[in-house]
């Protein structure tokens, strides 16, 4: 069956059913986990700059209430539909379970092309959407906490938190109603690069597993690995940044206008600046152009990282892909058919459901910061620095040798918020990768890493329900 016969939500459910066969849970529990608990479709009028009224279509889906609040981004895109929002909400449930973030999955979407509206129109749409969510109790620090997604960012999150605080005066934890906010509005340092950095930590952990690399015919470690990244948005940009800094070679980059390739490697920052200046990554000095973005997916590399939109790799193009490892930085870039082809061909797919969980992990840290009303590092930074300074001074007096100034600063340094956030993210990603890999190693019948990830997620969500006494 061709991949286009599956909707996005059906693809997620198909993957779920494949994994459920490797679990011991009652059919009823599995059915409950699989379905979306609450789906809210809304239509509301907004007055545009030219005086006309436009009716806006929007959604918020709460996939699972096994943990509260629900958590998930809001995307602004012309392609937004109920099926897509349901699929993304379901993936959020499984993602949060795998990375041990205590949220149920949610997702929101507004069916607009944000480029077609002025900033003032977008503000009115965002604020009206927020007020509609408040009316139905579909937003709040203890019920449902949105975040940025495709087409949204810090600006939109600032509008949301301001609208919420205006309509809920005096609510102590109101800042926790949304994450991905600007720092001045209660955001957290490191949120912007969180997803890309999480992708880096996750793939790095896999690349350092000797048994896995041996099977793939690769050496361990990132250094010298040939990487292809599709998408130079926020996630792709920071993924490229961390891989390049760790010694990987980025041989191709792709955006919607086309792709560029250079066997000796591309400097992601130079490409990014070139695109900023010319409006396209094409014609970058020293690189070969490809007219279709999808052409880059089929070039020879060690690791392919799709960081754009869903369903870019399907039953049709999967057999031509030469990468040994695929790291899903985007949501749902592979169809179930592609998964089956890669499984047969021995290509390792590191699935989106935990690989791109950096965003929700750091969103969790932001939410905790908002509930505690204190920034990370404020309580312990100076204490740690004073302790380290005292230890170092004692060592210097005992040895009679003075430590170099730069080395001293590095050793003494107490953690800032960004240090603690990155440390928490690294811990989360490493633990999640190992948990999924252990599940796969212990169940040799499980065909691929995605199925192993679903098994881990299903077991955690089902255990929550069982412990709540909802099911026998």
Under CATH, what is the fold of the domain 41-185? Rossmann fold (3.40.50)
Alpha-carbon torsion, ordered 74, 75, 80, 84, to 10 deg: -60
The answer to whether 455 touches 443, Cβ cutoff 8 Å, is: yes
Taking the model in full, what pTM does it have?
0.90
Which ranges of 190-311 does DSSP label H, i.e. alpha helix? 194-207, 210-216, 234-245, 268-278
Rounded CA-CA distance 303/248 in Å is: 10
DSSP 209: -
Segment 79-92, tens digit of pLDDT: 999 999 999 999 99
Rounded CA-CA distance 110/22 in Å is: 37
Segment 342-400, tens digit of pLDDT: 999 999 999 998 999 999 999 999 999 999 999 988 999 999 989 988 998 988 889 88
Residues in Cβ contact with 449 at an 8 Å cutoff, skipping those fewer than 6 apart: 348, 349, 350, 351, 436, 437, 440
Residue 181: active-site member: no
Same fold, 41-185 and 194-355: yes
Helix, strand, coil percent content, the chain, rounded in steps of 5: 50, 15, 35
Q: What is the pLDDT of residue 453?
A: 95
Residues in Cβ contact with 173 at an 8 Å cutoff, skipping those fewer than 6 apart: 141, 142, 370, 371
Burial of 143: CB neighbours in 10 Å, binned 0-12, 13-18, 19+: middle
The mean predicted confidence, pLDDT, of the chain is 92
Burial of 102: CB neighbours in 10 Å, binned 0-12, 13-18, 19+: middle
pLDDT tier at 472 (50, 70, 90 boundaries)?
A: very low
Whether the pLDDT of residue 336 is over 90: the answer is: no
> Among residues 95, 107, 369, 460, which one is catalytic?
107
User: What are the extents of the domains in the chain?
Assistant: 41-185, 194-355
Segment 193-202, tens digit of pLDDT: 999 999 999 9
Burial of 62: CB neighbours in 10 Å, binned 0-12, 13-18, 19+: buried
Rounded CA-CA distance 309/297 in Å is: 13
> At 305, phi and psi to the nearest 5?
-120, 95
Rounded CA-CA distance 376/365 in Å is: 9
Alpha-carbon torsion, ordered 20, 22, 24, 25, to 10 deg: -10
pLDDT tier at 161 (50, 70, 90 boundaries)?
A: very high
Q: What is the pLDDT of residue 3?
A: 41
Q: What is the pLDDT of residue 332?
A: 81
Whether the pLDDT of residue 225 is over 90: the answer is: yes
- Which option is the CATH number for 194-355: 3.40.50.150, 3.40.30.10, 3.40.50.720, 1.20.1260.10? 3.40.50.720
């Amino acid at each position: 069956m061709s991949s286009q016969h599956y909707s996005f939500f059906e693809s997620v459910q198909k993957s779920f059913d494949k994994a459920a066969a490797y679990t011991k849970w009652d059919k009823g529990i599995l059915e409950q986990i699989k379905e979306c608990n609450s789906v809210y479709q809304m239509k509301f009028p907004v007055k545009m700059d030219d005086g006309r009224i436009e009716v806006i279509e929007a959604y918020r889906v709460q996939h699972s209430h096994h943990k509260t609040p629900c958590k998930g981004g809001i995307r602004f895109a012309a392609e937004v539909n109920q099926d897509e929002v349901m699929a993304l909400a379901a993936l959020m449930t499984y993602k949060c379970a795998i990375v041990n973030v205590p949220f149920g999955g949610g997702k929101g979407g507004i069916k607009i092309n944000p480029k077609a509206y002025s900033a003032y129109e977008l503000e009115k749409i965002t604020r009206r959407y927020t007020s509609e969510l408040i009316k139905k109790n579909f937003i709040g620090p203890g019920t449902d906490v949105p975040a940025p997604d495709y087409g949204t960012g810090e600006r939109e999150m600032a509008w949301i938190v301001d609208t919420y605080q205006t309509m809920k005066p005096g609510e102590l934890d109101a800042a926790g109603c949304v994450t991905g906010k600007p720092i001045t509005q209660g955001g957290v340092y490191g949120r912007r690069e969180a997803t890309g950095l999480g992708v880096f930590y996750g793939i790095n952990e896999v690349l350092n597993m000797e048994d896995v690399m041996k099977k793939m015919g690769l050496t361990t470690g990132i250094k010298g690995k040939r990487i292809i990244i599709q998408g130079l948005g926020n996630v792709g940009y920071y993924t490229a940044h961390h891989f390049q800094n760790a010694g990987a070679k980025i041989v191709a980059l792709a955006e919607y206008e086309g792709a560029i390739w250079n066997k000796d490697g591309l400097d992601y920052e130079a490409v990014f600046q070139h695109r900023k200046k010319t409006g396209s990554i094409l014609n970058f000095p020293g690189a070969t152009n490809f007219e279709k973005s999808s052409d880059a997916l089929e070039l020879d590399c060690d690791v392919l990282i799709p960081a754009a939109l869903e369903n870019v790799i399907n039953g049709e193009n999967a057999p031509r892909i030469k990468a040994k490892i695929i790291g899903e930085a985007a949501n749902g870039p592979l169809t179930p058919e592609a998964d089956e082809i890669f499984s047969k061909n021995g290509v390792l797919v590191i699935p989106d459901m935990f690989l791109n969980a950096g965003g929700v992990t750091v969103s969790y840290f932001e939410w905790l910061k908002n509930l505690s009303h204190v920034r990370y590092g404020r309580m312990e930074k100076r204490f740690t620095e004073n302790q380290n300074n005292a230890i170092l001074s004692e060592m210097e007096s005992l040895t009679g040798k003075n430590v170099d100034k730069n080395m001293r600063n590095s050793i003494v340094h107490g953690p800032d918020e960004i240090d603690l956030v990155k440390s928490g993210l690294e811990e989360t990603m490493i633990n999640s990768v190992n948990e999924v890999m252990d599940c796969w190693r212990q169940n040799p019948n499980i065909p691929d890493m995605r199925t192993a990830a679903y098994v881990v997620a299903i077991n955690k969500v089902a255990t929550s329900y069982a412990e709540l006494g909802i099911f026998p």
